[in-house]
Amino acid sequence: MTLKTPCSGCRDGASLDFHISMAFQPIVDLKTGLPWAYEALVRGADGASAAAVLGQVTEDNRYAFDQRCRVAAIERAVAAGIVETGARLSINFLPNAVYSPAACIQLTLRTARATGLPLDRLMFEFTENERMDDPDHVRTIIDSYRAMGFTTAIDDFGAGHAGLNLLARFQPDVIKLDMELLRGIDASLPRRMIVEAVVGLCARLGIRVIAEGIETPAELDAVRSLGVDLVQGYLLATPAFERLPAIVLPDDGVTARAA
């Protein structure tokens, strides 16, 4: 497949004709009760939903949108105080918008350096639902980002186009289990067995597992009993617009991070 190189006029996000901002949701390390990372979730400049923003993304502005999201995520996170937390910043990216990993990362690097965010605290995740025109190109991106010292992640693992076949093609640092796989896991033996198998497989591959979309104490207890210690979900913290939300651990009601 021949990848289309964006025109020079749309680089650095210059051609995007709508404004965006970010909300943040923590990924919590259950062993410490502290944020392991904060995921940047795209929003409109006025707080409009991700769906409203993504509905404006086209093939023509995809590259500009991807670049602008990276900049907004870093700038808003630093302004919200992420540097002081020691946590990673997780940025969603569009593999189909990256024509060259080395070239397309330059604006991200400049922004991180300008704001004082350490480069080794950048994490890039892409959703398994993202259409992959060229899986080999995605593998090149992941390999390149890992070589640069970034953390890489597959979001929504267990839903979408692939599944275990995706891990056969490339191995990221992290997978985020799809929330639908985890919904009601405390009362579902098949779900528990599937997650237990995936956790064991990932341990052997050297991949960390995040349980996302956790909404009840019973779900939290279930994934923790299966060896998952990185958790994201409304039970612990809801996304907060342009700020880092408080984390509340349901076991003891302790607030780990003040809003």
> Does residue 128 carry a pLDDT above 70?
no
- DSSP helix, strand, coil percent of the chain (3-state; round to 5): 40, 20, 35
75 residue type, one letter: E
Average pLDDT over the chain reads 87
Cβ neighbours of residue 96 closer than 8 Å, sequence gap 6 or more: 62, 130, 131, 132, 133
* Distance linking the first and last C-alpha atoms of the chain: 47
8-state DSSP, 46: T
Give the pTM. 0.89
pLDDT tens readout for residues 197-254:
999 999 999 999 999 999 999 999 999 999 999 999 999 999 999 999 999 988 654 4
Please, which residues have CB within 8 angstroms of residue 256's CB and are 6 or more apart in sequence? 28, 33, 34, 35, 246, 247, 248, 249
Q: What is the pLDDT of residue 165?
A: 79
Q: What is the Cα–Cα distance from 85 to 114, expressed in whole angstroms?
A: 18
Contact 26, 247 (CB under 8 A): yes
210: left (phi over 0), alpha (psi -120 to 50) or beta: beta
Task: Identify the band that residue 161 occupies on the pLDDT scale cut at 50, 70 and 90.
Answer: low
- Of 99, 148, 93, which is closest to residue 121 (Cα–Cα)? 148
> Can you say how many angstroms the Cα of residue 97 is from the centroid of all Cα atoms in its chain?
16
The mean pLDDT value for 137-157 works out to: 90
Whether the CB-CB separation of 181 and 198 falls below 8 Å is answered with no
